[in-house]
Every structure is written in C-alpha cells, then in structure tokens.
Structure 1
C-alpha cells in the first residue's frame, strides 16, 4: 500500500510549540502579577502622599507614555523582531524597578513614583506589541486560538493574584518591597523570554527605502484604512471593550447601591464573571481549534451582549451573579477569538504595527467609555444607559460577520497582490 504524499493536512500543518508557549505563559504570569501588585501599591502610596490628585498624576504618568510608546513598539517589533525588543526592554525595566526600590526606601515624596510610572509605562508600551507578535510565531493559525485562550487565562488571573499581593505588601512592608517583587517578576519573564525567543532571527531589512521610525509608527492606522477585514475586526474588538467598561466600573456599583444590596454583591458579580470567563477560556485553550468560527465570534458575541443587558434588569443579587457568570462564559471564548481573528487578518510583516494599534484601542476604550456613557447616564438613567451599552455590544458580532465576508489581505500596502479571496484557514480562529 503506497503512501499518499498529499494526505493529511495535519502532517502539512506545523504543530504548536507547547514547551515555548508554556514558557511564554509562565513568564507573562509572573510579570503581569508583579505589574498589578505595583499598580495597587503605587496608587495606595500616592493617596497617602497627596490624596486623589496625586493618584491622578501617577496614573497619567503611566498611561500617557504607554499609549505613545505602543505606536513605536509595534514599529520596532516589525523591524528588530520581538526578541530584541522584549529582552532589552525587560532588562531595562528590571534595572529601573531595582533602582526605584532603593530610591523609594529613602524618599517620602511623589517624584519617585512619577519617575517609575513614566519609565514603566514607556517600557510596557514597547513590549506589548512584541508579545503579540511572539505568540503568533509559537502557534500556527489553526491553533492560535488555543494559545490566545491560554494567554487570556493568565491575563484574567494576574489581577486576581497580583492586586491583593500588592495591597498586602504595601501595608505590611513598603512600596520598595512591592517594587522588588515586581522586579522579580521581570526576572522570571526575562529568563522565560530567553528560552522562548532562542534561535529567532532578526527580520530581513525591507527592500524598499526604509522610512523613519516616526513614519512607521503610523503603519497600524494605515493598515486599518487599507484592509477591510482588519478594519472590521478592529471595530468588533473596540465595540466590545467600549460597551463593557462603563457597566463594570460605574453602573454595577451604582445599581447595587440603589437597590440596597450591599458592596458584597458587586464583588460577587465580578467574581462570578471572572469565574465564568476563566472556565470558558480553559475550554478554549483545549478545544478552540475544534469550535466553529461563527460560534466563537458571532454566537458568543451576541450572548455576551444579551448577558450584559440582562444584568441591568435582574431582580436579585443571586440572579445578578448567575447572569454575570453566564456573560463571563461567553466572554472567555469571545475575547481570545476576536484577538486571534484580528491577528490572522494582518498582512505579512506588519503584525507589530497592527498589534500596537489594537492595544491602543483597548487602552483608549476605557476613558472614552467612562466619559461617553457617564454623560448619557444623566438623561437616560443608569438602567437606560446600561441597556444602551448592551446595544452597542451587539455591533461587535455584526462587525465580525462583515470581517469574515471581506477579502483576506496577504500583502502590505504598496506591494503587489494586495488581497485575495477569503480562505477557510484565515478564519480558523
């Protein structure tokens, strides 16, 4: 019996490098846990030093440089490769945190916090897109959804573990202790990053006239204007982030307070949502490649929007927790699927720029959501505005549907063969 060389697709498709993916996830768990511990500790210390205004200054000192450096981080990841960006930026961050711990131990003013926040935010902005590029290199498209689900679990667990750790350390010890713990997380990530990126070569230099880093920082925005599939996936992701932040941050506490249910109801609802999201993310890590694309994008997106709206209407704390858990179940599959579909829509050689714009949309969705829906809540009320958020969330599965019907772009702008017909592999989230 002869062997058919064109036989199974499983032989042709590369298998995921689960050892390196495991190192990636382990390192990210350590560094993200340390980051959330540091955020809580710096906020608490700022309150003790200068009150609410000091907290605002520290937060802005971190978020504004991070948003700016995201654009350059994507361009650097495309030109230097993720290995160079991750190792250098993480090593620099480790040194900054170690020095910051020494300075904070002998200083009793706000300026060390601001200095650390500026450098931390800048370095996080540089490494964010590189991490997204790195993950796509570890798992083939067929299994990229599983890798993103695994990474999603880490990102959901990090604040659950890191925030209480930071609160306990800053009260029992000092901000210096938290900085040292965060530096330890960077050291773990640096060690894992060496293993994950070992053997990864620097990308070849572009054959065309090499533009400046400043010009290349806008590549992600240009990609959205040029490629319909990428643009619709970006809109799908943004709509979900934009519509979900105000209910979770503002509407939930307001409704619970108005109903007289007690602050424990807020904690129970958020915990139930996180538990549901973790459970479905675990399912996605194991089975995402076997779940049909319409289920992962359209069905879960619609279920998440309906669950979000139902949370505004339930009549008891128990029903609120159950509804939040159901919404979390949809979110744990929908979020990684949206990220995966976005990554798969990026043309060759532009993943870093695309991921920088994607990360910027998530960061920008928070203040936009809070400002926009808070202003509408005065005429519409909390319940009415909450239901409007759910209606906006319904645009996410609609945009995802339009994305999957758009052509797959294989080349960057300015090259031949800009787009081809949609292929099944491009939607295998």
Structure 2
C-alpha cells in the first residue's frame, strides 16, 4: 500500500521519446569520452618511451573485462542496470579526472598507466552489461530494434567526433587535457542518467522455463555465484538465446581481428599507408552508419532471425574480399559492404537478445553476449598478428571469413533462431 507507483514506459516511437533521447545523449557522451580516453592513454603510454610498456598499457584493460564481465551482469540483475550504469560512469569520471590531475603534477609512468587501465577495464566490466540491459527498461519491446539503430548511429558519431577531439586535446594540452576532457564527458552523462524514468520489466509468463527458474532462485535466495550459474543455465536451455550466443561468438571471432589489427597490417603490406587505412575505416564506418540509420528509421525488420543469419553469412564474403582487392578504393567499398551487412546483423543480434531474455536474467545474458566482443575477442589479436606474419593477410582473412560464415550458417541451422521475430 505504501509502495511508490510504477512508471510505465512510453508507447511513442523511440526517436520521439524524451526518455530514450536522454539515455541516447548520455550514451553518446560516454562513447565520445571513451574515444578520447583511449587516444589519450595510447599517447601517454607512447610518451613513456617504452614500446613494450606501451603494449602492456594498451592490453591491460582487456584482462579485467574478461575476468569480471559476467560478474557485472550479475550485479546489473541484482541492483538494476540504472544504478550500475550511474555508479560505473561516476567511477570512470573520477578515475580519469584523477589521472589528469596526477599527470598535471608529474610525468606519466608505465606503472601508473597500467593501474589506471586495469581499474578502467574493471569499471567497464560493470558498465557494459548494464548499459546494454537498459533499453528494455525505457521503451516498449516493439521499439528495441529502432533503439539499436539509434545506438549504432550514436556509436559511429562518437567515434567520428571523439578521435578528432582527442587529437586536438592532445595537441593543445597533451594527454593531461585529453584525460580531463574525457572525464568531463563521463560526468556530463550523469545528470541525464539520473533523470531517466525506469519501468520494471514484466514478469515472465507462468509455466515457462524462465518463470520456474526465477521462482526457484527466489526461494533459495541465491548468492552471486548461484546467480551466475542460473544465468548461464537460462541461456543454455533457451531455444533462441543459446544458438544466438554461438552466432555472436563465431561472428565476432571472424570479424573483429581482420577489421581492427588486420587492417593495420594489410595497409602496411600493400603500401597503402595510414591514409589508405583511414579510407578503409571510413568506408566501414559509413556502411555501419547506413545500417544503423535503416533500423532507426524502419524500427522493425520482419523475420529478424533469418535476416540476421543471412547478413552474417553474406558479410563473410566482404571480409574475404578485403585481402584480395588491388586498390584502396575497392578495399574501402568492400569495407563499406561489410559495415552495412555486419552492422545490421549486430543490431538485430542485440535486439533479439533483449527481447528473448527473461527479465530476471537480462543483465547476465547481456554480459555473456558482451563478453565475446569486448573481452575475449581482443585477446585473439596476438594470434591474428602472428598468423598474418606467418601466412600473410590473404589466408588469414579467408579463415576469418570462414569462421564468420560459420556463425551465419549456425543461425540458419537452428530452427528457433531462424524463425525468431521481434515484437511489433
């Protein structure tokens, strides 16, 4: 009788919903801050004069992400994603502003930068699952595909704006000013996050596996480890989520290495230089932005599971073509094609995750899907680099394309995933 009334999410389109736009603005500010932070970190590490130390600093953040990401999903489900996002964003702001103050007083050292990278990675392990679990709390299910399109546009815009801003900050005031700018952007997102109206997700229907699991968990009052195991069990038993995680893992494994580290080595081997690589990256970004814009405008794609699987399968051909084309222009066109179909597949994956996960497990399910992209796959970079050094870009890109295609084929092979639909 004394409980506060529950606020219902708005039924208006996501792009006209002030609540969604507040979330999107906060997310954009955080993503721009991320871009500036990573540029400043790389520059500060390079200024130490140690090549091995620079590599250590840049790799350090992946370790806590890999170790703590699943725990971040448990925390998001226990405390609610909004609390975790606000707390982790505040922690990122304080950490980066503290580093800026430190560098204002003294020169950077590898030790200090490694500690900051580890702490930032640990906070990111909490932030990423929670921010991915927020959209179903601020908009109806039928708007989730549109939100993923808007999120994709924000991410592309942040990368376009963040890199030049970081460069200007570094050129003007060194890494100290760049870190300060990133910290301010993290802080600016906090008022927007605090103003969000959050609605609890509906309970799963009685009789479903998720309802039985949630009821059993509630009766046992599980600890954090039992929560984690329960979330993994939910994914394994779900007819859509289990296959979807296989698709995400295989697609990311075949996609991320060639499109990040691989492009640097490919441009170097072909003599295209940094400018050529820039055109290829721009091509990929424009294609991904096109996919995001399509989803943001359209709002829903019929037969989402089938389209997602087919686009992942088709995108593999573009990855293989990247290492075979003879010119920068054709490489940029291939990258744009990969960005278009890959961006569409990725956004549909996220929307299917959010609409199929039972409410009690949304943070944990999001943490598993995020773990592949942001924690485990980057650890494959040394393997990708060693393979290219041994066999060249052509064979490695062909194998990566085959792995990516296997992910798309897996999506087609699982009937429940192939027939999966997004809510209207």
TM-score of the pair, normalised by structure 2: 0.85
CA 1:194–1:50: 2 relative to 1, 3 Å:
same
Question: 1:115 — aligned with what?
Answer: 115
Question: 1:318 — aligned with what?
Answer: 329
Contact 2:287 2:336 in 1 (8 A): yes
Question: 2:139 — aligned with what?
Answer: 139
Paired residue total: 400
Distance in 1 between residues matched to 2:366 and 2:76, nearest whole Å: 10
Question: 1:160 — aligned with what?
Answer: 160
Post-superposition shift, 1:232? 1.0
CA 1:44–1:261: 2 relative to 1, 3 Å:
closer
Of 331, 334, 340, 2:345 maps to: 334
Post-superposition shift, 1:78? 0.7
- Counterparts in 2 of 1:264-413, with a 5 A limit? 264-293=275-304, 296-377=307-388, 380-405=391-416
- Counterparts in 2 of 1:15-94, with a 5 A limit? 15-16=12-13, 18-94=17-93
Distance in 1 between residues matched to 2:385 and 2:118, nearest whole Å: 28
Contact 1:276 1:329 in 2 (8 A): yes
Query: Unpaired runs of 5+ in structure 1?
Result: 1-12, 408-421
CA 1:343–1:290: 2 relative to 1, 3 Å:
closer
Distance in 2 between residues matched to 1:317 and 1:95, nearest whole Å: 42
Distance in 2 between residues matched to 1:261 and 1:124, nearest whole Å: 34
SS at match of 1:289: coil
Question: 2:250 — aligned with what?
Answer: 239
Contact 2:57 2:114 in 1 (8 A): yes
Query: Unpaired runs of 5+ in structure 2?
Result: 1-9, 204-213
SS at match of 2:219: coil
CA 1:207–1:224: 2 relative to 1, 3 Å:
closer
Question: 1:175 — aligned with what?
Answer: 175
CA 1:404–1:163: 2 relative to 1, 3 Å:
farther
Post-superposition shift, 1:23? 0.9
Question: 2:103 — aligned with what?
Answer: 104
SS at match of 1:173: helix
Post-superposition shift, 1:365? 4.3
Distance in 2 between residues matched to 1:116 and 1:318, nearest whole Å: 39
94-103 vs 204-213, greater mean Cα deviation: 204-213
CA 1:177–1:404: 2 relative to 1, 3 Å:
farther
Post-superposition shift, 1:123? 1.7
Distance in 2 between residues matched to 1:46 and 1:355, nearest whole Å: 32
TM-score of the pair, normalised by structure 1: 0.84
SS at match of 1:319: helix
CA 1:28–1:183: 2 relative to 1, 3 Å:
same
Post-superposition shift, 1:297? 0.8
